Structure 1
Amino acid sequence: MLQFLRRKLFYLYSFQNPSLKSISQLSNSTNQPSFKVSYLINSCGPSKEAALKVAQKINFETAEKPDCVLAFFRNHDLTKTHISNIITKCPQLLVYNPDKTLKPKFEFFLGLGISAPDLAKTLHLNPYILARSLENQIIPTFDFLKSVLHPNEGIIVALRQLPFLIQFNVPKVLEPNVKTLRNHGVPGSRISTLSMTNPRTLGIKSDRFSGIVTAVKEMGFDPSGSLFIAAVIAMAVLSKSTWAGKLEVYRSLGWTDDEILSAFKKQPWYMTTSEQKVRRVMDFFVNRLDQKPSFLSKHPNFLLLSLEKRIRPRCSVLQVLMSKGILRKDLKLSTVLPLTEKKFMEKYVTKNKESVPEILSVYQGKTRVTGLDIGSQESDAVQKL
């Protein structure tokens, strides 16, 4: 009777205080997550924060399944760092049946001649491969890659690109896109380059990809040249609305449509430059170097350079050296800005340190140079001080 009354009182108290839970509910809501978190930290090595996130994505009540998966990984030369990264990125692997889902995939890769260390490195970077179907996704994608890679590129190259292409449908997307390139006269070596440098481009919808390739060819790009592939990639990474917005930006800065196209044919990647950067670089060349807006359409590569780390520091050095008569005033920016850091330092900074002690400080931005009007209209020659 006394026990009955206690249970009754506890029930009524709990009902009047909905924030309280029964003892069993408290046990289920705290002990189970804490078990998973503790297990993950002790067996896989992620941080507590990472373990908490992983614990929310998977469910296991005992260590039986996770132990089997971790033992499988260790037996295949994966380090604790590898395992921690793999489980953090792809938690569902921890409750897989290793014999049914993991072992066949490892045997496939190792059977191709891929070494255990190379496989471990790939899985460390992109473990999602192991979550894909071997028969329906991994093998078809791998066979596709081998068909488009250049003959002198081996299995390891294909393995490196596999994670980026494995998410796409081979017969419905990848193969039609490659066929489109071949039908437009793009040689196999260029297709191979695209597969290695920007494999995601091959994964866009086939109708859009076909439209991009056709547009690039109509612009006058040579399908056998490297710029053709660069133009395809540049257009593929921008949506139609973003592309239209880019056109309006350059028009607002004084470029004609012919200048926009001419610049694109010289350097397709300039179209991917952010509007903010374009306006800042344009302002520097027009208002500080005394150039017309059309100057940059002739040298679109400059829009890819860092204003703070390359353009401004180098122009400051040139300004100082010209003011002291060390450099000719008709020096062309197009011969200076593209130089590597090492060559620029050797030719313009190190070489002149004795005659101009402050030159390094100028280059590093510690000594400010005013009045950077070192250009002339419609020319890339540095003439006006």
Structure 2
Amino acid sequence: MLRRRGRVLIRKLSTPSAATTSPLHRIICAAAPPQAHARSCILSSLRRLISGATAPGISPTSGFAVEEYLVDTCGLTRPQALKASPKLSHLRSAANPDAVLAFLAGRGLSGADVAALVAKDPKFLCTKVDKGLSPIVTGLSGLGLSDPDMARLLSLAPHKFRCRSIVAKLHYYLPLFGGSSEKLLRAINFNTNLLCCKRRVELNVAFLRECGLGDPDIAKLCSSIPRMVTTNLERVQTMVALTEGLGVSRGSGMFRHALSAVAFLDEKKIAAKVDHLKKTLGWSDVEVSIALPKAPFLLAKSNESLQHGSEFLISEVGLKPAYIARRPVLLCYSLEGRMRPRYYVVKFLKENGLLKRDPSYYTVFKETEKYFVEKFICPHKEAAPHLAEDYAAACGGEVPARFRFTDYFIC
């Protein structure tokens, strides 16, 4: 390519033109020294080449300034426009881009939304509104999508939106998500591959249904582990096998949670996590086999989180490893935002004789916030007027030492 360009340039520089063969030019060249003559001819040819070049960002066929249009009309930054303009160099006028922008405005997109969309997919400006976008909008409206839904879909996947097949894809997905466009769009936000891997998704969904999962569970998998349903079928089959290896059977209530926990793990990683649980909690193989089917999401917890949780439950609360193995969900609660503040409230109540009987810490930690406050805070407003305030502070992350047990007035 470089050699060909060089030959073209040499040919242009050496070929006489009307300008170089004019009487005036011959007189000037005859009067000038040979070196000056050659220099004059070269400069003259270069000027002609430069003057014939097209300015950057301008269509060579019409003079339409694409780059300026992207900046001034679409709101792109200069670097964004510079990057996008080559993809639009064939445009002859602003007629079609103007129609597309009017279409986007009609769908409720803001100026910032439009700029982001065009920067992500510059060729969207080339889409025909009457033959392309309008039929798609009609089809999506027929599925129940509102203008705000379509505006969000446009922002998430503009390059997919301008393909008519998107109507058929959403027609398949909406029932899977219980007819909720909000849930579907949330899943697409996590994984836009849902819009380009429909056949793969269909195979995975069919297999997961065979495993006893209903559509609501599969929809949750799409949202929590988006890649699961767009990966290949063999990988999903491996995940199911690993789940069953934990002792969680197909069709059980814990199956979806276990499937999420082992997603994209292999046997080696699972074995390493099991070894860490045994070492940290002093569990035997039997206790591990009891705990994991009840709380398979332990496999997704970080080693650091498991370490801190086990130290708190065993060393501070005084629970036995075997007790925790039968109630492994305790290791999944937030230590600083839930267990530690509740523990100190109960500890205070016990030390000051405000509880008629010792509660189970499993109950204390697992119950809802509403239940805990009504059971352990509200009945003691008079005896411990600062308890609710200090509990809220502890839940907000203040160190336990700020819990003012000694400041209470006990009736």
Scaled by the length of structure 2, what TM-score is found?
0.68
Choose the corresponding residue for 1:76, options 87, 101, 107: 107
1:142 Cα offset (Å): 3.0
Q: Which residue of 1 aligns with 2:270?
A: 243
Map residues 11-50 of structure 1 onto 2, 5 A cutoff.
28=56, 43-44=73-74
Map residues 31-110 of structure 1 onto 2, 5 A cutoff.
43-44=73-74, 52-53=79-80, 55-57=82-84, 59=86, 60=88, 64=94, 66-87=97-118, 89-99=120-130, 101-110=132-141
Map residues 1-385 of structure 1 onto 2, 5 A cutoff.
28=56, 43-44=73-74, 52-53=79-80, 55-57=82-84, 59=86, 60=88, 64=94, 66-87=97-118, 89-99=120-130, 101-127=132-158, 129-130=160-161, 133-135=163-165, 138-139=166-167, 141-145=169-173, 148=176, 153=179, 161=187, 164=191, 166-171=194-199, 173-187=200-214, 190-191=217-218, 194=221, 198=225, 200-217=227-244, 219-253=246-280, 254-328=282-356, 330-359=358-387, 360-365=389-394, 368-369=400-401
C-alpha contact 1:195 1:202 (8 A) present in aligned 2: yes
Secondary structure (helix, strand or coil) at the match of 1:209 reads helix
Map Cα deviations across residues 273-295 of structure 1 (whole Å, 9 max, x no partner).
Answer: 12221111112112222233444
Q: Which residue of 2 aligns with 1:16?
A: none
1:303 Cα offset (Å): 2.7
- Amino acid across the alignment from 1:78: L
1:308 Cα offset (Å): 1.4
Query: Which of these two proteins has the greater Rg computed from alpha carbons?
Result: 2
Percent sequence identity over aligned pairs: 25
1:355 Cα offset (Å): 0.9
- Amino acid across the alignment from 1:264: L
Secondary structure (helix, strand or coil) at the match of 2:336 reads helix
Structure-2 change in CA distance of 1:225 and 1:199 (3 Å):
farther
Map Cα deviations across residues 85-135 of structure 1 (whole Å, 9 max, x no partner).
Answer: 43455455345454555344323212334222332233345545326x433
1:197 Cα offset (Å): 6.0
C-alpha contact 1:45 1:81 (8 A) present in aligned 2: yes
C-alpha contact 1:227 1:265 (8 A) present in aligned 2: yes
Consecutive unaligned residues in structure 1, runs of 5 or more: 12-21, 30-34, 372-385
**Stretch moving more, 313-322 or 241-250:** 241-250
Q: Which residue of 1 aligns with 2:61?
A: none
Q: Which residue of 2 aligns with 1:379?
A: none
C-alpha contact 2:169 2:195 (8 A) present in aligned 1: no
CA RMSD of aligned residues (A): 4.2
Scaled by the length of structure 1, what TM-score is found?
0.72
Separation of aligned partners in 2, 1:88 and 1:295: 57
C-alpha contact 1:190 1:224 (8 A) present in aligned 2: no
Separation of aligned partners in 2, 1:350 and 1:267: 32
- Amino acid across the alignment from 2:287: E
Map Cα deviations across residues 252-302 of structure 1 (whole Å, 9 max, x no partner).
Answer: 212334333332321222321122211111121122222334443333322
Query: Number of matched residues?
Result: 348
Separation of aligned partners in 2, 1:73 and 1:357: 58
Map Cα deviations across residues 324-356 of structure 1 (whole Å, 9 max, x no partner).
Answer: 011256311121112322332233223323212
Consecutive unaligned residues in structure 2, runs of 5 or more: 1-27, 30-34, 43-49, 58-64, 404-411
Structure-2 change in CA distance of 1:109 and 1:326 (3 Å):
same
- Amino acid across the alignment from 1:356: A
Secondary structure (helix, strand or coil) at the match of 2:254 reads helix
1:310 Cα offset (Å): 1.0
Structure-2 change in CA distance of 1:38 and 1:306 (3 Å):
farther
C-alpha contact 2:247 2:289 (8 A) present in aligned 1: no
Map Cα deviations across residues 141-190 of structure 1 (whole Å, 9 max, x no partner).
Answer: 3344356455xx3667556655645245333x222222323433445564
Structure-2 change in CA distance of 1:326 and 1:103 (3 Å):
same
Separation of aligned partners in 2, 1:105 and 1:167: 14
- Amino acid across the alignment from 2:260: I
Separation of aligned partners in 2, 1:230 and 1:223: 11
